[in-house]
Amino acid sequence: LISVRFSRTRRDGEPPLVNGWIPFLGKALEFRKNAHGFLAAHKEKHGDVFTVLIAGKYMTFIMNPLLYPYVIKHGKQLDFHEFSDQVAPVTFGYPPVRSGKFPGMDEHIQRSFRLLQGDNLDNLTESMMGNLMLVFHKDYLDGESEWRTESMYQFCNSVMFEATFLTMYGKPAHTNRHSGMVMLRQDFVKFDNMFPLLIARIPISLLGGTKTIRDKLINYFHPQRMSTWSNTSGFIKERAALFEQYDCMGDVDKAAHHFAILWASVGNTVPATFWAMYYLLTHPEALAVVREEIHCVLKVSGLEADHNRDVTFTREQLDSLLYLESSINESLRLSSASMNIRVAQEDFSLRLEGERSIGVRKGDIISLYPQSMHMDPEIYENPEMYKFDRYVEDGKEKTDFYKDGQKLKYYWMPFGSGSTKCPGRYFAVNEIKQFLSLLLLHFDMEVVEGQEPCSLDSSRAGLGILLPATDVQIHYRPRQAREEE
């Protein structure tokens, strides 16, 4: 690793600066290996706001969640999109949207996100339900009814990847499933393994066959091919129509945009589904409450659980699954390690609480690292423990969490914050609810005994939901099998 001497010195009013002889990439790797521990150690030494040079960037970390609102509300001087518009195009292989070459496109893209929310969720939810049942039936429920063994991550990946793909992009002409889905998924996993390096701006040409794999993935979304698909979501249709308005945008560029959305829609959802399922299956008391809740919701709607018949959940029914939602939120709290990044647009003084403010220089990055908040014992008692009902109180969603005796505005942030909050968050939680509900209704399932507890693989710290370090073996069988015995 190269050591580089940086000459920046701390100015009056600026936060403590961790500077000096810093291995250029070394700090970044140290950070990635144990971001939470790295930040906790610096907080101990320098207080709740400090600046660190990581991979050539001056990053100011705001560690106290009571200060988060001061960063999140600063829209104008602190910009998120500058960062994403530099990193995402290089990672996914499309030209930068805000380069001036595509006037108006950025605003249209932002507007298209509404098609993932509100009333538009009804269609997405209905479509997702059908697609989940399709994949569950064809690959896991139909046929032999004896106990089978499977790897849990593999199971979540194959079901959620294909069902989400079908829901977003639609199905091919004359058939319900895309050919080559297994290959697409495998290529996606290979690309995804390189994702942290691409985000760290390691040139793709240095990453072995990654460029060839990415080209193949992008090609899957060639506009000519996509035009033959039906049942495509309104979100993807609107984006495809938008790209058609720009003559200077090539077919491969359009395809690369669609590929980026594939990553956004499954890259975090699959590991999030894994953790939600893993924690439920390894906590029988949680499983019992959640299962009961699902049966109750179906009963109230006059739909007794009947394993031989497909049930559907409306958006309202999904919304009413309070314990299921809390259990998902809790697993997201434990597994998410996303970093919220803003880039300073000018030299300015960022006002924090009371009289306190910090000097920030143009181009500096202001970072929030919510994992530190999610694991703060003052906010969450025994933070490393999974408590499925942590977010339920008096039969309602619990929203009051405290630090230093003050109620926190932000206490749960796996989806980011403010204007850059994930636009797919409602859909994501809904599809995980659907997945788990169907799982509990249609399968007998258990984690194979004698396995070590599953731990987090920290290689994508800062980038979203962490993957499990090892896969977990499960036994399952279609539930109706028991009735027939």
Applying CB under 6 A, which part among 89-97, 345-353, 383-391, 410-418 lies near ligand HEM?
410-418
Of the residues 340, 372, 434, 458, which one makes contact with ligand HEM according to CB under 6 A:
340
Applying CB under 6 A, which part among 150-158, 266-274, 286-294, 354-362 lies near ligand HEM?
266-274
Does position 427 bind ligand HEM by CB under 6 A? yes
User: Distances in Å between the alpha carbon of 144 and those of 140, 159, 259?
Assistant: 9, 19, 36
Q: How far is the CB of 481 from ligand HEM (least distance, A)?
A: 31
Of the residues 416, 445, 460, 478, which one makes contact with ligand HEM according to CB under 6 A:
416
Q: How far is the CB of 302 from ligand HEM (least distance, A)?
A: 31
Q: Kindly identify the residues of this chain, within the stretch 100-139, that bind ligand HEM according to CB under 6 A.
A: 116
Of the residues 115, 464, 472, 479, which one makes contact with ligand HEM according to CB under 6 A:
464
Does position 415 bind ligand HEM by CB under 6 A? yes
Does position 350 bind ligand HEM by CB under 6 A? no
Under 8 Å between Cβ of 466 and 460: yes
Q: How far is the CB of 272 from ligand HEM (least distance, A)?
A: 4
User: Distances in Å between the alpha carbon of 190 and those of 184, 194, 204, 206, 370?
Assistant: 10, 7, 13, 15, 28
Applying CB under 6 A, which part among 209-217, 222-230, 353-361, 411-419 lies near ligand HEM?
411-419
Nearer to ligand HEM, 433 or 479 (CB): 433
Does position 414 bind ligand HEM by CB under 6 A? yes
The CB-nearest residue to ligand HEM is 424
The H helix count followed by the E strand count for the chain is: 19, 21
Closest CA to 462 of 175, 39, 15, 167: 39
Nearer to ligand HEM, 125 or 336 (CB): 336
Closest CA to 368 of 63, 37, 53, 31: 63
Does position 170 bind ligand HEM by CB under 6 A? no
Of the residues 65, 93, 170, 424, which one makes contact with ligand HEM according to CB under 6 A:
424
Under 8 Å between Cβ of 365 and 50: no
Q: How far is the CB of 449 from ligand HEM (least distance, A)?
A: 29
Encoded amino acid at 460, one letter: R
Q: How far is the CB of 79 from ligand HEM (least distance, A)?
A: 11
Of the residues 28, 78, 217, 272, which one makes contact with ligand HEM according to CB under 6 A:
272
**10 Å Cβ neighbour count for 132?**
24
Under 8 Å between Cβ of 273 and 156: yes
Q: How far is the CB of 417 from ligand HEM (least distance, A)?
A: 6
Does position 158 bind ligand HEM by CB under 6 A? no
Does position 434 bind ligand HEM by CB under 6 A? no
Q: How far apart are CA 257 and CA 304, in angstroms?
A: 43
Which residues have C-beta within 8 Å of that of residue 67, sequence separation ≥ 6?
Answer: 48, 49, 352, 353
Site string for ligand HEM, 226-265 (x = CB under 6 A): --------------------------------------xx
Under 8 Å between Cβ of 197 and 90: no
3 state DSSP class of 143: coil
Does position 331 bind ligand HEM by CB under 6 A? no
Encoded amino acid at 220, one letter: Y
Q: How far apart are CA 407 and CA 378, in angstroms?
A: 12
At 313, list the tokens. Answer: 């959940």
Distance of CA 317 to the CA centre of its chain: 23
Q: Total number of residues binding ligand HEM (CB under 6 A)?
A: 23
Nearer to ligand HEM, 18 or 261 (CB): 261
Of the residues 91, 127, 338, 372, which one makes contact with ligand HEM according to CB under 6 A:
338
Q: How far apart are CA 291 and CA 285, in angstroms?
A: 10
3 state DSSP class of 280: helix
Q: How far is the CB of 328 from ligand HEM (least distance, A)?
A: 9
For tokens 């309202």, name the residue.
316
Beta bridge partners of 79: 343
At 62, list the tokens. Answer: 């705001």
Nearer to ligand HEM, 416 or 478 (CB): 416
User: Distances in Å between the alpha carbon of 400 and those of 324, 380, 414, 426?
Assistant: 19, 11, 17, 21
Nearest 5°: phi and psi at 338?
A: -85, 155
Q: How far is the CB of 212 from ligand HEM (least distance, A)?
A: 26
Give the interface with ligand HEM as residue ranges (CB under 6 A): 84, 116, 264-265, 268-269, 272, 336, 338, 340, 414-417, 420-424, 427-428, 464-465
